[in-house]
Structure 1
Amino acid sequence: MRLVASDIDGTILGHDGKISDRTIRAFHACRDAGVELVFVTGRPPRWLYPLQEQLGHSGTVICSNGAVVWDLEADRLVSAKTLDIATVLEARRIIKDLRPSARFAVETLAGFHLESGFVENESSELLAEFTPAPLADTLTDDDAVVKFLAIVREGTADEFLAEVRPAVGHLASVTHSAPTVAMLELARPGLNKAVTLAGYAAALGIDAADVVAFGDMPNDIEMLRWAGHGYAMASGHPDAISAAGQQAPHFDDDGVAQVLEARLAALGAPLS
């Protein structure tokens, strides 16, 4: 175990926005043992504060499902893989034809654009910070899109994914990670967490066989398959569980911490 790569939401971070003390201790013990830590998330860089405030993490974070590599200590962009505006608008057209009720948003390197209806709660903080408007009106050629989002209020995310992925797969990769919302996340074709994580590990001279990865949702599937030791949370999505080679205990039972504690013990490393 030379590198631990972990998803954040639903894997180490709960709905209450907290990382458990046990999990924090396990990550600190990994760091003390010389194990590299990298967090691999669907979140954009502006939402990484739990890692800083609760874990004291100051290293690299792979954000936006692999589209962005962010240096947390320097608070700067390391690299990005983006979608061009024409592709975003064409994917939007196709999805809108399939699901007229769909609403859309994009995450760019500079901020967030959303259309009217994307956020259901009109009192949302998002609407206080960002003004809804058609993407075709607000996006410019200077906008570097790292994630394109589509949401519907009916059906499940799995159903929405099964309908949309075949129709736009030539334009973008499609996945989802929201457990209770039918929202899809689109990025550059062929891009996923595993692609960027593999590049990061290679730059450190670390093979997949020496990587332990944790995740819980479909956007983690490729990463869990790539890692030599991929653990899906027992509380995770069935597709993630079936894709992973191994299973970590339920999130509520500090599953990530349990696995790390056992692996550190096998290495003879002390737990902090």
Structure 2
Amino acid sequence: MHRPHLIASDVDGTLVTPLERFTDRTRAVLRQVHQDDVPFVLVSGRPPRWIPPIANPAGITGYAVCANGAVIYDIAADRVISTRHLPPVTLRDAAEAIVGVLPRARFGAERVGTSATDSSVARIVTESAFHNPWGDDTECDTGSRADVLGTAAIKLLVSDERMASEEMAAAATSVLDGSVAVTYSSNGGLIEISAVSVTKATGLAEIVDWFDVDPGNVIAFGDMPNDVAMLGWAGHGVAVANAHPAVLEVADEITGPNTEDGVAQVLERWF
């Protein structure tokens, strides 16, 4: 591939180490990308509130695609630009169908305000037995299933720590009949549901249009099934070596793992 006109990268498992840190090598190549005025876009399953702790220490100030494509976020301005919500009726219908095949499922709903720091919105509400594979969230409110499903959300989270995420996704997909988008970014018994046709690829495409960049000149990095659509859409899709088999299968290239600066290994060809 020639020098990319825009770079997009997943965060966890791809760009940062398992301790959610940037190595000096990765920081150095990101600085060079910035100096060369090449847009660098974070594309993550994370909600906007989890972007600044990653972006700020690395000096990343552009745009982020959050919640698997449901939110476009301006990092420097701390401003949510656009959202794709699941309305309450869709949340309830999806939950009812899922319980039919995953009877132990517990639900959470991710919501968003006008910024990452907007405290006027209960940003995540979960049932009491909801299992978060990323650990306890201090900003999480606990409520009934009706509380979780009664307000529009950018993402519906479904947990069952006794199951594999892949198994859960297959079961949910079988009963949801394409009415929503189902994916996962963790192996820890959690699937993530977005509005129909929302993927990291659709969110990234919106930003790429703003820069008037041809998708063929975009390079994208990822590691989990929620990255598959993005890697397939970009002109050059790169999987880190620790990626899920579904990601390795669609990638144009496989680089080193996130523990060995896999993203930097590729970008150093040009920056």
Please give the TM-score of this superposition, normalised by the length of structure 2. 0.90
- Partner residue, 1:193: 200
**Aligned amino acid, residue 167 of structure 1:** V
- Partner residue, 2:180: 172
Q: Determine which of 127, 136, 149 is the counterpart of 1:115.
A: 127
Give yes or no for contact 1:169–1:189 (8 Å, CA) kept in 2: no
Using the TM superposition, give the Cα deviation of residue 139 of structure 1 relative to its aligned residue in structure 2, in angstroms. Answer: 4.9
Give yes or no for contact 1:83–1:187 (8 Å, CA) kept in 2: yes
- Partner residue, 1:35: 38
Asked whether 1:81 is paired with 2:84, we answer: yes
**Aligned amino acid, residue 190 of structure 1:** S
- Partner residue, 2:104: 101
Using the TM superposition, give the Cα deviation of residue 230 of structure 1 relative to its aligned residue in structure 2, in angstroms. Answer: 0.6
Asked whether 1:229 is paired with 2:236, we answer: yes
Distance in 1 of aligned mates of 2:56 and 2:80 = 20
Distance in 2 of aligned mates of 1:58 and 1:39 = 10
Distance in 1 of aligned mates of 2:269 and 2:206 = 27
Using the TM superposition, give the Cα deviation of residue 160 of structure 1 relative to its aligned residue in structure 2, in angstroms. Answer: 1.1
Give yes or no for contact 1:113–1:135 (8 Å, CA) kept in 2: no
Using the TM superposition, give the Cα deviation of residue 106 of structure 1 relative to its aligned residue in structure 2, in angstroms. Answer: 0.5
Cα distance 1:31–1:104, how it changes in 2: closer, same or farther (>3 A)?
same
**Aligned amino acid, residue 136 of structure 1:** A
Please give the TM-score of this superposition, normalised by the length of structure 1. 0.90
Distance in 2 of aligned mates of 1:135 and 1:214 = 36
Q: Give the fraction of aligned pairs with identical amino acids, expressed as a percent.
A: 35
Asked whether 1:161 is paired with 2:173, we answer: no
Distance in 2 of aligned mates of 1:35 and 1:95 = 42
Distance in 1 of aligned mates of 2:131 and 2:244 = 24
Unmatched 5+ residue regions in structure 2? 113-120
Distance in 2 of aligned mates of 1:224 and 1:54 = 26
SS at match of 1:190: coil
- Partner residue, 1:130: 140
Distance in 2 of aligned mates of 1:41 and 1:100 = 29
Q: Deviations over 1:240-272 (max 9, x none)?
A: 1101111121111110000000133xxxxxxxx
Cα distance 1:215–1:85, how it changes in 2: closer, same or farther (>3 A)?
same
Q: Determine which of 247, 250, 264 is the counterpart of 1:257.
A: 264
SS at match of 1:74: coil
SS at match of 1:187: strand
Q: Determine which of 7, 13, 17 is the counterpart of 2:20.
A: 17
- Partner residue, 1:219: 226
Distance in 1 of aligned mates of 2:145 and 2:176 = 18
SS at match of 1:12: coil
Using the TM superposition, give the Cα deviation of residue 186 of structure 1 relative to its aligned residue in structure 2, in angstroms. Answer: 0.3
**Aligned amino acid, residue 12 of structure 1:** L
- Partner residue, 1:270: none
- Deviates most, 219-228 or 33-42: 33-42
The number of residue pairs the alignment matches comes to 258
Distance in 1 of aligned mates of 2:108 and 2:125 = 5
Q: Deviations over 1:35-57 (max 9, x none)?
A: 11111000001111333332111
- Deviates most, 15-24 or 80-89: 15-24
**Aligned amino acid, residue 51 of structure 1:** I
